[in-house]
Every structure is written in structure tokens, then in C-alpha cells.
């Protein structure tokens, strides 16, 4: 089969068109797509650059506001205790028991509830610094006292410098003794974290009861004097006679 000159020309034209189209398809098109991606990246970086320029123009104002907010945050944190330990709670309640007075028969502690406030920053060595947690603990107390004394107790709790609240209370009146008794729940709050150390409770030496369980009952003050080298109560009575 012979190919005419006309058909030969058509074939040549098709080949030439293919030779021209292939570079466009496999070279120019990927280049165009790459150029479009670069243009988009440049646009994003330009927008970011303009945003950073705006921040730089107001940098001093932002730093001032940050310092103010950090100061406010520190003031709030300073309003809370550095932690909560059972011995601190016991000594606090013992002080109230002595000063009001109110007799607290039993104490029941629950575990601390911890809520993260700030996760802190992870250092290259893997340690975490700057973490801050909120701590809440509950103490259930059974008590007995005069009616006026329970009001004084609640007033003392409300006016305490540490964050605490009586979240529940029940009061029963005994007409025979004129006293009230019941149970209350004391919620205490603290913020713990790096640089916040709770001072150890001041627990003085305390003497209670009598060394001889079959002897005459001796008050705490008398027993303390006896421990310090003073005359025993019975000896003191004999001396007076």
C-alpha cells in the first residue's frame, strides 16, 4: 500500500505536533505546578511577615499587658496555700478547738483531688518545669459545742486567709445539756507547683492522759509540770498538808 504525499505530510505534521506537545506535557506543566506552589508559599510568608511586623509595632504594649496579667495570676496563686497535708489540717483544727472552744470527736480525711492548671514545659532532659496544679481536700468532722461556738467556728472559717469553706453541716440541739452536735465537711483548697513549698506544721510536744492507767486522773497541765521535773500532784497535796 502506497502512502500519498498528502498523507506523508499529515504524518509529519502529527509527529512534529507530538514532539512539541511532549515537552509541554512532561516539562512545562510540572514546572508550572511547582511555580504555583512557590507563589502560594510566598503569599503565605508575606502575610506572616506583615503579621509579625504588626506585632513588633505593638511589642511594648503587649509586653506590658503580659506583665500585668502575669502579676494578676501570681496574686491569685498567692491567695492559696502552698499545699495541704493532714498534719497541717489537724493542727489548724486543734487551734480552733482550743480557741473557740469546740470539741471535735472524730476526723475523716478524703484523698486530694488534683486538677491541672498549667502543664508546664518539657525540658531537653525530659523533666517538666512550671507545672501548677489545684488541690482540693475534704475533712469530715464530728463535733460538740455550745450554739454560739458553732457560729464562731463558721465565722473563723469564712475569715481565714487560706481558701476553705464549710460545704456541709448538720446541727442537733440537746435540750438536756444545752449543747449542739453533729458533723461538718471542711473543704480546703491549695495550689501546688514548682517553687511553692508548704511549711511544715508546728507540732509542739504534747502530753495527754496519765502514765499510770490505775492512778488518779491528771490534767494535761499537771502532767506537763511533772514531765518537766515539778512535783507530782499527789506530792504537792501532801506538801500543802
pLDDT tens-digit series, residues 61-86: 999 999 999 899 888 888 888 888 88
Q: Which residues are within 8 A (CB) of 116 and not within 5 positions of it... i.e. 6 or more apart?
A: 131, 132, 133, 134
103-109 vs 132-146, strand pairing mode: antiparallel
Q: How far apart are CA 22 and CA 25, in angstroms?
A: 5
Using the predicted structure, report yes or no on whether residue 191 has a pLDDT greater than 80.
yes
The reported pTM is 0.56
Given this model, what pLDDT does residue 172 score?
Answer: 93
- Count other C-beta atoms under 10 Å from residue 107's C-beta: 15
Q: Which residues are within 8 A (CB) of 122 and not within 5 positions of it... i.e. 6 or more apart?
A: 128
Answer with the residue of higher pLDDT: 88 or 42: 42
Q: Give the model's confidence band at 213: pLDDT under 50 very low, under 70 low, under 90 confident, else very high.
A: low
Q: Residue ranges of the domains in the chain?
A: 1-57, 86-200, 205-241
Which superfamily does 86-200 belong to?
Ribosomal protein S6/Translation elongation factor EF1B (3.30.70.60)
- How deeply is 94 buried, as exposed, middle or buried, from its count of CB atoms within 10 A (0-12, 13-18, 19+)? middle
188-204: average pLDDT: 74
Q: How far apart are CA 45 and CA 96, in angstroms?
A: 65
What pLDDT, in 10s, does the model give residues 162-173? Answer: 888 899 999 999
191 sits in which H/E element: strand 179-193
The top-scoring range by mean pLDDT among 27-41, 60-74, 198-212 is 60-74
43-67: average pLDDT: 92
Q: Which residues are within 8 A (CB) of 185 and not within 5 positions of it... i.e. 6 or more apart?
A: 138, 139, 140, 141, 166, 167, 168, 169
213-234: average pLDDT: 54
Stretch among 81-85, 129-133, 173-177, 211-215 having the lowest mean pLDDT: 211-215
3 state DSSP class of 98: helix
Using the predicted structure, report yes or no on whether residue 193 has a pLDDT greater than 50.
yes
Q: How far apart are CA 199 and CA 91, in angstroms?
A: 13
Q: Which residues pair with 116 in a beta bridge?
A: 133
Q: How far apart are CA 133 and CA 200, in angstroms?
A: 20
Using the predicted structure, report yes or no on whether residue 155 has a pLDDT greater than 50.
yes
Given this model, what pLDDT does residue 122 score?
Answer: 64
Using the predicted structure, report yes or no on whether residue 229 has a pLDDT greater than 60.
no
Amino acid at each position: 500500500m502506497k502512502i500519498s504525499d498528502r498523507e506523508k505530510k499529515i504524518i509529519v505534521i502529527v509527529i512534529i505536533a507530538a514532539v512539541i506537545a511532549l515537552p509541554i506535557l512532561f516539562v512545562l506543566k510540572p514546572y508550572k505546578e511547582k511555580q504555583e506552589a512557590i507563589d502560594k508559599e510566598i503569599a503565605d510568608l508575606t502575610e506572616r511577615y506583615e503579621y509579625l511586623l504588626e506585632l513588633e509595632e505593638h511589642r511594648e504594649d503587649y509586653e506590658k499587658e503580659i506583665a500585668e496579667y502575669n502579676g494578676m495570676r501570681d496574686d491569685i496563686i498567692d491567695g492559696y496555700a502552698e499545699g495541704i497535708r493532714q498534719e497541717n489540717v489537724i493542727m489548724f483544727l486543734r487551734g480552733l478547738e482550743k480557741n473557740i472552744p469546740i470539741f471535735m470527736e472524730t476526723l475523716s480525711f478524703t484523698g486530694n483531688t488534683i486538677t491541672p492548671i498549667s502543664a508546664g514545659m518539657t525540658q531537653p532532659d525530659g523533666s517538666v518545669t512550671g507545672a501548677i496544679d489545684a488541690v482540693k481536700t475534704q475533712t469530715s468532722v464530728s463535733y460538740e459545742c455550745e450554739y454560739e461556738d458553732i457560729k464562731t467556728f463558721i465565722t473563723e472559717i469564712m475569715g481565714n486567709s487560706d481558701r476553705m469553706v464549710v460545704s456541709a453541716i448538720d446541727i442537733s440541739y440537746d435540750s438536756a445539756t444545752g449543747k449542739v452536735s453533729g458533723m461538718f465537711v471542711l473543704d480546703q483548697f491549695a495550689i501546688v507547683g514548682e517553687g511553692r513549698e508548704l511549711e511544715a506544721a508546728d507540732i509542739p510536744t504534747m502530753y495527754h492522759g496519765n502514765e499510770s492507767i490505775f492512778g488518779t486522773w491528771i490534767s494535761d497541765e499537771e502532767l506537763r509540770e511533772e514531765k518537766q521535773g515539778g512535783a507530782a500532784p499527789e506530792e504537792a497535796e501532801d506538801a500543802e498538808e
